[in-house]
């Protein structure tokens, strides 16, 4: 059975495994089960993270009580907003390598919406700044 796009599988447990040997055994069993069901594994993207390590899934940090934006993601959104506020949407789009100001505007709108979904308070601050960005006057 083949899916049209990659499938992500994350497994987590609040229980400590009794022995270090349980992790490799569990990994081997999961790998066998996945392959026997007709899926393929990308070994380069397989990660095993122990307790206390930073766990990142689809760009979100999931090592705490609730998923949260990474520092890199927060910084990227803040940096793009600042650049748009200071230099304008068109100049920022050119500097950041976007094909158009519309593309940057849509991208930044998506990033701020994502931030709102993950961290409501921070997302609201980003959204307020996004809403103040001057609309673009670009001939396309």
Could you report the per-residue pLDDT of 74-131, keeping only the tens digit for each?
999 999 999 999 999 999 999 999 999 999 999 999 999 999 999 999 999 999 999 9
Question: Please, what's the b/e burial string for 66-96 (b: 16 or more CB within 10 A of its CB; e: otherwise)?
Answer: ebbbeeebbeebeebbebbeeebbbebbeee
Q: Which of 68, 67, 108, 66 is nearest to 85 (CA)?
A: 108
12 lies in some domain? no
10 lies in some domain? no
Q: Is a pLDDT exceeding 70 seen at residue 72?
A: yes
pTM: 0.70
Give Rg (Cα) of the chain: 21
State how many domains the chain has. 2
Shared-domain flag, residues 118 and 84: yes
Shared-domain flag, residues 85 and 116: yes
Contact present, 114 and 130 (Cβ < 8 Å) = no
Domain, as residue range, for 35: 22-48
Shared-domain flag, residues 35 and 79: no
Length of the chain: 140
């Amino acid at each position: 059975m083949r899916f049209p796009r990659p499938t992500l599988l994350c497994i987590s447990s609040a229980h400590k495994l009794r022995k270090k040997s349980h992790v490799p055994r569990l990994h081997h069993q999961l790998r066998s089960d996945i392959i026997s069901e007709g899926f393929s594994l990308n070994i380069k993207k397989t990660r095993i993270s122990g307790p206390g390590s930073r766990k990142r899934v689809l760009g979100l940090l999931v090592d705490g009580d609730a998923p949260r934006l990474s520092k890199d993601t927060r910084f990227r959104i803040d940096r793009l907003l600042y650049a748009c506020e200071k230099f304008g949407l068109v100049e920022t789009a050119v500097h950041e390598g976007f094909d158009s100001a519309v593309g940057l505007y849509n991208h930044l709108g998506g990033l701020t919406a994502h931030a709102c979904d993950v961290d409501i308070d921070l997302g609201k601050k980003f959204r307020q700044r996004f809403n103040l960005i001057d609309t673009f006057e670009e001939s396309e």
